[in-house]
Amino acid sequence: MIRRIVWLVRPLAASLTAAALSVLAPPAQLSAQRVDSAPARVGASAQQGGGLERQFRERLAEVVRRRLNLDDAQMRQLGEVNNRFERDRMILLRDERRVRQSLRAEVLAGDSANQSKVSGLLDQALKIQQRRLELTAEEQRELSAFMTPVQRAKYFAIQDDLRRRMEELRQNRQERQRRTGALGPGGRRAPLP
């Protein structure tokens, strides 16, 4: 089963988030999954983004199935494990992004940075990293019930590579927006005139 994805307002951001948080499941189950909790997205570009996301998830699921040599039962179990960890991962991602943006804004403030706020943000960042490690350990324990250690290691590498690539895409996109003036200080979207 594919885990439900909380859509962001902007289609590109939604696509990147969906890709980073994709749940791996057999393609037959992908088409049956509905995203009932998602806010409605309007326009043809939003519909195209959903189709591209579905294609991405299908390809990713096949890559995982092939590289890990998983059978249908293992793929189903993998989807179930991912469903159980979805909410926590999304919260961590959201919190990490918020802390990173706030920290960046404070550091860019230079001498006028709020030192106590920076200290608190650093503490939050460390707690997020600690929770990410705990979540990964919990996930690995659950995966060990139906995957070999080699399969789990390969899956971990696929997840890590995907997160790294999505972060690079996000950073490249923000950099392009900064250069064109689309983002204001702290990486936030500049207000419309």
What is the pLDDT, as a whole number, of residue 181?
Answer: 76
What is the pLDDT, as a whole number, of residue 47?
Answer: 53
What is the pLDDT, as a whole number, of residue 26?
Answer: 36
Overall pTM surpassing 0.75 (yes/no): no
What is the pLDDT, as a whole number, of residue 22?
Answer: 41
Residues of the chain under the 50 pLDDT cut: 1-46, 192-193
What is the pLDDT, as a whole number, of residue 49?
Answer: 61
Can you say how many angstroms the Cα of residue 154 is from the centroid of all Cα atoms in its chain? Answer: 19
Q: What residues contact 50, with CB distance under 8 A and at least 6 apart? A: 41
Distances (CA, A) of 21 to 57, 92, 109: 10, 11, 32
Angle between helical axes of 72-108 and 115-143 (0-180°, round to 10): 170
